[in-house]
Amino acid sequence: MPLKSSFRALFGVLLACSAWLAAAQDIQERTLKFGHLNNADHPVSFGVKRFAELVAAKSGGKLKVQEFPASQLGNELQQQSALQGGVQELSAPATTSLAGIVKEFGLVDFPFSVASFAQADALLDGPFGQALLAKLPEKGLVSLGYWDLGFRNVTNSKRPITQSGDLEGLKLRVIPNPVFLETFKAFKANPVPMPFAELYGALESKAVDGQENPFAVILSNKFYEVNSFVSATNHVYAANIILVSKKFWDRLSPTEQKILREAADEARNYQRTVSRAAAQKAVGDLQARGMKYNELKPGEQARMREIVKPVLAKFAASYDPAIVKLYETELAKARKQ
């Protein structure tokens, strides 16, 4: 090899080494607390575990993610406050919990808006979902994207829900979120806002008749022990959102931020796949544990959509018009999926 070529090759190797060393120096030893509400056998927990593995691998073991499942660090709003205060690094709440600080997140909870996972992914991963994420930093939060929680379904101890009229008079626990409250009031149910951690006890004591959650959540939390009926209402598609404390995020180097973003993106695809497979399997598991399963009568979802139209119009009128217009545009595109 000519001398000039040897120097060029050596120079290239030195540059690569120095770049690697610089990147390595940009990564400090850190332990990141990642809290969420779900049990350790739930797909959100599987996503956190995969995220932790990816972060460790990409950081050479310097960044360690420590999982705190099952509301160990508090309910969704307590963990949100901990992130904003900088005492907790990560959480994975349902997007519903953010409506209190960015009310336009309520659009994600509009009932009967998407009919498939493909539609949901297109809406959240596209311009509308990103526009919502852009509103979070001013609230002390940074998001690394959306994971799957699944379509929400009603369980109760009284009767199967085959049409909207079957909801009348039922005391149903709902997320403390205005869209959920008004939606179930429109169906003449008696919605009771309540933190998730209190739900099993409330069902057991008959303080509430039922609740609504994705199938995998119903199974993981053993609601089959305290409710007899599970009805595939599929009334809302629910997503989890990966949140990082902005106070913590701003202390990270660009290299560390890149590692977290890449790990979250890679973990998202895995988590969605696992979550959707778990939802499908959970229906059979719930029936095997004694729950009576049913689906809505044909055309009933369309009738229910009509009932809640005034509720949706009321909330949309109070949101940022630009975000509402973007939502409507992107939803129309997603429905063509």
pLDDT above 60 for 7: no
Strand-by-strand arrangement of the 237-245 sheet: 63-68, 30-35, 90-91, 237-245, 141-151
pLDDT, position 19:
45
Question: Is the torsion defined by CA of 295, 300, 301, 304 positive or negative?
Answer: negative
Mean pLDDT of all residues belonging to the chain: 93
pLDDT tens profile 155-180: 999 999 999 999 999 999 998 888 99
Q: Could you tell me the residue ranges of all domains in the chain?
A: 28-334
pLDDT, position 298:
85
Closest CA to 274 of 93, 187, 171, 149: 149
Whole-Å CA distances, 8 to 13, 18, 22, 136: 9, 15, 21, 47
Percent of the chain at pLDDT exceeding 70: 93
- In the chain, count H helices and then E strands: 12, 11
Pair 93, 83: CB distance under 8 Å:
no
pLDDT tens profile 40-54: 999 999 999 999 999
- Band the pLDDT of 18: cuts 50, 70, 90: very low
Q: Is 60 exposed, middle or buried (0-12, 13-18, 19+ CB in 10 A)?
A: exposed
Element (H, E) at 102: none
pLDDT, position 31:
98
Closest CA to 63 of 259, 250, 271: 259
**Domain 28-334 fold:** D-Maltodextrin-Binding Protein; domain 2 (3.40.190)
Closest CA to 64 of 81, 82, 47, 51: 51
